[in-house]
């Protein structure tokens, strides 16, 4: 219930005005009566006639009676006015107390003079608490200024009423929106403002709803703009189509510029697309499709063409089924269409490239097998079919292990062909010592290169295995490697490979000594006795034949782990894996006996040769390889000086002399 502003003040002012008028009239009559009585008394003392006195007395009595009547009437009117004022004030109080909206009386200094329960409850205060505040204290800081400006205008007399919206602060500090409407109460004589009476309505729920609607509309508009979409609304009752501002801007037009004839949009469609769009439109209007959908080109205001995806649906028809209203969306799909065009061109180019690649793979001399991410065979060229012994049609879709099985040439272990680690770009894996095992258990040496296929998203897509028949090349490699490490005449290790083997043993001896294992080996330097006589008498052919026999004899005496080499000419070397010096002496005597016992005849002439041997230890503190060889060579020279056909052990250092054993010839 809204209370008219200032009603109680107006009622009180009217009652007081009537009462004052009646009082003035009675007072005038009473004064007149008193004047007449006074005049009668004075006249009685004068020498007047009886009739004159009688007349004066009658007038005085009449005036007195009239004054008395007016006084009674005045008292009754005052009582009635007081009753009416009390009733008006009571109605005003009840109106304030019972009003569903807030009513506040505010002084010109901003103090709250009186507030009804509705206003106090709205802000969470009691009436006593709210009436101890000023409106500045309970107003939101951002809205205080509008209250000050209104108050200044009321004081200046430029306005007599006001209405506006502002935020108050509840007792807990939370803001609440309210609508204020009120007026100023002024003094009836001077016109000066006395106080303000305001009606205050809680509109916080409405404001929050408006904020939510505005926020939703903002999100909707942003979503439409971000997605390149617009909305159209065809309403036959309004006689046209309206478009969202997002869409008209995308077409280069201003708001409302396209809102016109419902068929106007058809004129903006590319001529080659109009019939397709019209058919889709008719199909939906005839009820053949649940909604309208079409892709077409539409002309931008500046003249270029845009690709549009149009979706819509009829939402209202009349009783005869004629369209009344339809709503739909328009999406700018120009980029998608351009991408599709590029993709079409790329697909054609990819198909050509794939065909060229297929022809290339069919024509090259290398074998090629391709797999997918699950390791299933997807391609084999004819060379791969020939090497694996599996036809391409039979291999497709099979796991790679059913078609291609490669093992390491040295270890015999299968060479795994697996996918790389997740997220890793593994390089191509090359292996030059692989052996392909066919289904019939036949084998061939191959060289393979396995390359993973990684797409642009860094995902594993499969493998490409390229391999070649490497049997002949592998045999040639083995021959070359053997020739590089072995003596061509005797088949023993040559000097360079023997030196490398000694260097490795010396390094290992030092490592073992550091770790406390304490291992060692024995080096043997062998020089043939009387060999020059064979060359001089039988020629180099005889010497070469004899050297081969010597190599066989030495090799036959020693164990499989011992290393035998020809250092050059008639000089041989042996590394005994046994670290025992006593065992080395026994082995040396066995070699001397084997060489001495050779039954060699050339051109019917027998030849007898011998051997002198120097021994040196291979240990952690033996020095470098050349030092060991030098010590053994010196020991061999001492053996020859002692009469040949014997063994001499080199000293541990250069300061002590070698110990030479008695020659076998002397011993016999």
The whole-number pLDDT of residue 520 equals: 75
The whole-number pLDDT of residue 527 equals: 94
CA-to-CA distance for 613 and 639, rounded, in angstroms?
7
The first and second tokens of residue 238, run together, are 């309004």
Task: Looking at the structure, tell me whether residues 379 and 458 fall in a common domain.
Answer: yes
For the beta sheet containing 305-317, the strands, ordered from the edge strand earlier in sequence to the opposite edge, are: 240-243, 229-235, 323-332, 305-317, 292-299
CATH number at residue 145: 3.30.450.20
The predicted model scores a pTM of: 0.41
The whole-number pLDDT of residue 16 equals: 40
Task: Looking at the structure, tell me whether residues 515 and 639 fall in a common domain.
Answer: yes
Residue 4 lies in a domain: no
Which of 469, 527, 570, 633 is flagged as catalytic?
570
Residue 29 lies in a domain: no
The whole-number pLDDT of residue 45 equals: 57
The first and second tokens of residue 279, run together, are 């058919």
Residue 44 lies in a domain: no
Task: Looking at the structure, tell me whether residues 195 and 261 fall in a common domain.
Answer: no
Query: Could you identify the residue written with the tokens 């500090």?
Result: 173
Mean pLDDT, rounded, for 407-419:
80
Residue 168 lies in a domain: yes
The whole-number pLDDT of residue 667 equals: 30
Q: Say if residues 554 and 595 touch (Cβ distance below 8 Å).
A: yes
CA-to-CA distance for 29 and 36, rounded, in angstroms?
11
| End residue of a domain, out of 177, 208, 239 | 208
The whole-number pLDDT of residue 175 equals: 93
| Dihedral sign computed on CA atoms, order 250, 253, 255, 259 | negative
Q: Which of 462-466, 578-582, 608-612 has the lowest mean pLDDT?
A: 578-582
| End residue of a domain, out of 338, 373, 398 | 338
Mean pLDDT, rounded, for 610-622:
90
- pLDDT category at 3 given cuts 50, 70, 90 is very low
Task: Looking at the structure, tell me whether residues 244 and 368 fall in a common domain.
Answer: no
- pLDDT category at 648 given cuts 50, 70, 90 is very high
The whole-number pLDDT of residue 48 equals: 54
The first and second tokens of residue 175, run together, are 């803001």
Task: Looking at the structure, tell me whether residues 460 and 369 fall in a common domain.
Answer: yes
Mean pLDDT, rounded, for 281-290:
87
**Is 570 designated active site?**
yes
Report which DSSP code applies to 474: H
| End residue of a domain, out of 144, 179, 208 | 208
Residue 6 lies in a domain: no
Task: Looking at the structure, tell me whether residues 330 and 273 fall in a common domain.
Answer: yes
Beta bridge partners of 107: 195
Q: Which residue has the higher pLDDT, 421 or 416?
A: 416
Task: Looking at the structure, tell me whether residues 368 and 330 fall in a common domain.
Answer: no
Mapped onto helix, strand or coil, the DSSP state of residue 245 is helix
b/e map of 609-625 (b: 16 or more CB within 10 Å)? Answer: bbbbbbbbbbbbebeeb
The fraction of the chain above a pLDDT of 90, given in percent, is: 21
Count other Cβ atoms within 10 Å, centred on residue 286: 9
Q: Say if residues 372 and 397 touch (Cβ distance below 8 Å).
A: no
Mean pLDDT, rounded, for 608-632:
90
Q: Is 395 exposed, middle or buried (0-12, 13-18, 19+ CB in 10 A)?
A: buried
The whole-number pLDDT of residue 188 equals: 78
Residue 534 lies in a domain: yes
The whole-number pLDDT of residue 611 equals: 93
Residue 357 lies in a domain: no
**pLDDT tens sequence across 158-184:** 888 888 899 999 989 999 999 989 888
Task: Looking at the structure, tell me whether residues 507 and 619 fall in a common domain.
Answer: yes
Q: Which of 342-351, 358-367, 545-554 has the lowest mean pLDDT?
A: 358-367
The first and second tokens of residue 398, run together, are 């099979």
Mean pLDDT, rounded, for 464-471:
88
The whole-number pLDDT of residue 657 equals: 43
As for how many domains the chain has, the answer is 4
- Inter-CA distances, 455 with 49, 102, 628, Å: 146, 72, 60
Task: Looking at the structure, tell me whether residues 328 and 409 fall in a common domain.
Answer: no
Task: Looking at the structure, tell me whether residues 472 and 497 fall in a common domain.
Answer: no
Mean pLDDT, rounded, for 208-223:
77
Count H helices and E strands in the chain, helices first.
Answer: 19, 24
Residue 521 lies in a domain: yes
Mapped onto helix, strand or coil, the DSSP state of residue 219 is helix
CA-to-CA distance for 232 and 70, rounded, in angstroms?
83
CATH number at residue 637: 3.30.70.270
Task: Looking at the structure, tell me whether residues 409 and 533 fall in a common domain.
Answer: no
**pLDDT tens sequence across 21-77:** 445 555 565 565 566 556 556 655 555 567 766 776 677 677 767 767 777 777 777
Task: Looking at the structure, tell me whether residues 467 and 491 fall in a common domain.
Answer: no
Q: What is the mean pLDDT of the chain?
A: 81
Residue 518 has pLDDT above 70, yes or no: no
Quote the domain boundaries for residue 470.
364-421+430-476
- pLDDT category at 271 given cuts 50, 70, 90 is very high
Mean pLDDT, rounded, for 179-195:
85
CA-to-CA distance for 242 and 253, rounded, in angstroms?
13
Count other Cβ atoms within 10 Å, centred on residue 260: 13
The first and second tokens of residue 271, run together, are 């001529």
CA-to-CA distance for 284 and 279, rounded, in angstroms?
9
Mean pLDDT, rounded, for 403-414:
86
Mean pLDDT, rounded, for 409-435:
74
């Amino acid at each position: 219930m809204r209370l008219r502003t200032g009603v109680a003040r107006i009622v009180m002012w009217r009652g007081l005005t009537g009462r004052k008028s009646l009082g003035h009239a009675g007072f005038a009559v009473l004064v007149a009566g008193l004047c007449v009585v006074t005049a009668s008394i004075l006249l009685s003392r004068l020498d007047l006639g009886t009739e004159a006195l009688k007349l004066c007395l009658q007038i005085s009595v009449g005036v007195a009676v009239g004054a008395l009547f007016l006084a009674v009437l005045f008292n009754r009117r005052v009582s009635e006015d007081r009753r009416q004022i009390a009733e008006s004030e009571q109605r005003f109080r009840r109106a304030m107390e019972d009003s569903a909206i807030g009513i506040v009386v505010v002084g010109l200094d901003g103090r709250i003079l009186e507030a009804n329960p509705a206003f106090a409850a709205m802000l969470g205060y009691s009436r006593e608490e709210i009436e101890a505040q000023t409106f500045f204290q309970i107003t939101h800081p951002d809205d205080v200024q509008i209250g000050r400006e209104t108050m200044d205008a009321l004081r200046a007399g430029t306005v007599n009423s006001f209405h506006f919206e502002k935020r108050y602060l509840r007792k807990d500090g939370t803001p609440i929106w309210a609508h204020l409407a009120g007026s100023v109460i002024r003094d009836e004589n001077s016109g000066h403002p006395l106080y303000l009476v305001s009606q205050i309505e809680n509109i916080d729920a409405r404001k929050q709803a408006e904020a939510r609607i505005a926020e939703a509309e903002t999100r909707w508009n942003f979503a439409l703009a971000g997605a390149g979409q617009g909305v159209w609304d065809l309403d036959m009752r309004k006689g046209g189509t309206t478009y969202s501002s997002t869409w008209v801007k995308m077409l280069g037009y201003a708001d409302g510029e396209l809102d016109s004839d419902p068929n106007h949009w058809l004129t903006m469609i590319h001529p080659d697309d109009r019939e397709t769009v019209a058919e889709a439109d008719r199909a939906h209007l005839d009820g053949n499709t649940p909604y309208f959908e079409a892709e077409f080109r539409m002309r931008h205001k500046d003249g270029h063409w845009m690709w549009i995806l149009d979706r819509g649906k009829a939402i209202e028809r009349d009783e005869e089924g004629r369209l009344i209203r339809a709503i739909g969306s328009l999406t700018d799909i120009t980029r998608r269409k351009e991408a599709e065009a590029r993709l079409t061109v790329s697909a054609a180019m990819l198909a050509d490239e794939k065909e060229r690649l297929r022809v290339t793979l069919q024509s090259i001399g290398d074998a090629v097998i391709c797999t997918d991410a699950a390791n299933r065979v997807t391609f084999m060229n004819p060379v791969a079919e020939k090497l694996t012994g599996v036809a391409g049609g039979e291999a497709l879709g099979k796991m790679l292990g059913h078609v291609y099985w490669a093992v390491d040439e040295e270890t015999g272990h299968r060479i795994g062909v697996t996918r790389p680690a997740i997220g890793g770009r593994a390089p191509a894996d090359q292996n030059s010592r692989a052996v392909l095992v066919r289904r019939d258990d036949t084998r061939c040496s191959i060289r393979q290169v396995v390359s993973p296929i990684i797409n642009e998203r860094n995902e594993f897509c499969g493998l490409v295995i390229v391999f070649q028949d490497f049997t002949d090349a592998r045999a040639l490699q083995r021959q070359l490697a053997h020739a590089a490490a072995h003596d061509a005449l005797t088949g023993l290790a040559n000097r360079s490979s023997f030196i490398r083997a000694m260097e490795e043993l010396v390094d290992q001896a030092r490592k073992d000594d550091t770790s406390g294992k304490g291992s060692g080996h024995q080096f043997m330097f062998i020089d043939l006795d009387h060999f020059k006589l064979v060359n001089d008498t039988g020629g180099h052919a005889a010497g070469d034949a004899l050297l081969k026999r010597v190599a066989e004899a030495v090799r036959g005496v020693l164990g499989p782990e011992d290393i035998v080499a020809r250092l050059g000419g008639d000089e041989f070397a042996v590394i005994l894996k046994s670290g025992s010096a006593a065992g080395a002496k026994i082995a040396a005597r066995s070699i001397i006996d084997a060489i001495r016992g050779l039954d060699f005849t050339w051109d019917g002439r027998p030849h007898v040769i011998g051997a002198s041997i120097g021994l040196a230890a291979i240990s952690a503190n033996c020095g470098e390889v050349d030092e060991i060889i030098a010590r053994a060579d010196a020991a061999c020279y001492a053996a020859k000086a002692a009469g040949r056909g014997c063994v001499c052990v080199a000293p541990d250092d250069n300061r002590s002399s070698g110990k030479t054993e008695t020659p076998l010839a002397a011993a016999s």
